Amino acid sequence: MRLAGKAALVAGGGSIGAATAQRLAEEGCRVLLGDIALDQAEADAAAIRQATGVEVIAAAYDQGEDVSVKALVQSAVDRFGGLDFVHANAADLSIAGEDFDAAATDLAIYDRTMEINLRGFVLVTRHAMPHLARSRGAIVYTSSGSAYIGEPTRFAYGMSKSGVNALMRHVATRWGPEGVRANAIAPGFVLGRRDAAALPEGFMEMVTAAQRIPVVGEPRHIAAMVAHLFSDDGAWITGQVIAIDGGSTMRA
């Protein structure tokens, strides 16, 4: 119960966001789980409440809209009386299949990727930071190994995640003197709610072959690190991008 009495906003649900909300609740933290898909977020929140007995609620928001992000943050503050932690996690993955190379990708796809994956994180940051500075709290951003590996496709996605890393370092430097810690997590392939059997034949073998350990990435692996970074055990960690990818990337 390292996080008992604390309050967190998970901005962006899905498998990683829901797993993070569950892990935080298991450690005693109250959570608002925000997502554009309210039905799924409410179902996840209800399941977590039942499993943990901790207050976990859901709210709808659109990360592309400044007023919506501001309202989400304020909802968490109003509900919990303050805000200790934020996990900025949302991304628009529905257009990933149209994100080719820099010559072939429609600029509308590029613009949408940057709007949600990068500008949206800026919106979360600017609205959350006054509250995190008040509580001397912490923020964790979901980045990606795509920021480092130089894929032949998904160039906009990789660029957006590189920008997230730069944003995190700015936040760590700017608000560090006020007691705020900022870090990013760079997941490798996470199976999430997908059925491995429905993936192309040989896909999972290809993924694990690129890792140093043959372990399939799960949302709980990401959630565990978020909880660590929010806890007192992570009190001396800031400004870092932490890869959780089975060793598929290795860097200083």
Q: State pLDDT tens for residues 95-126.
A: 888 999 999 999 999 999 999 999 999 999 99
pLDDT confidence of residue 106: 94
Please tell me the least confidently modeled range out of 33-37, 72-76, 168-172, 192-196: 192-196
Annotate 15-69 with DSSP letters as a single string.
HHHHHHHHHHHHTT-EEEEEES-HHHHHHHHHHHHHHH-S-EEEEE--TT-HHHH
Three-state secondary structure call for residue 88: strand
CB 57 within 8 Å of CB 45? yes
Domain ranges in the chain are 7-244
CA distances from 15 to 53, 81, 124, 213 (A): 20, 27, 20, 22
Domain 7-244 has CATH 3.40.50.720: yes
In percent, the amount of the chain with pLDDT more than 90 equals 79
Average pLDDT over residues 142-154: 89
Active site residues: 157
Average pLDDT over residues 160-177: 97
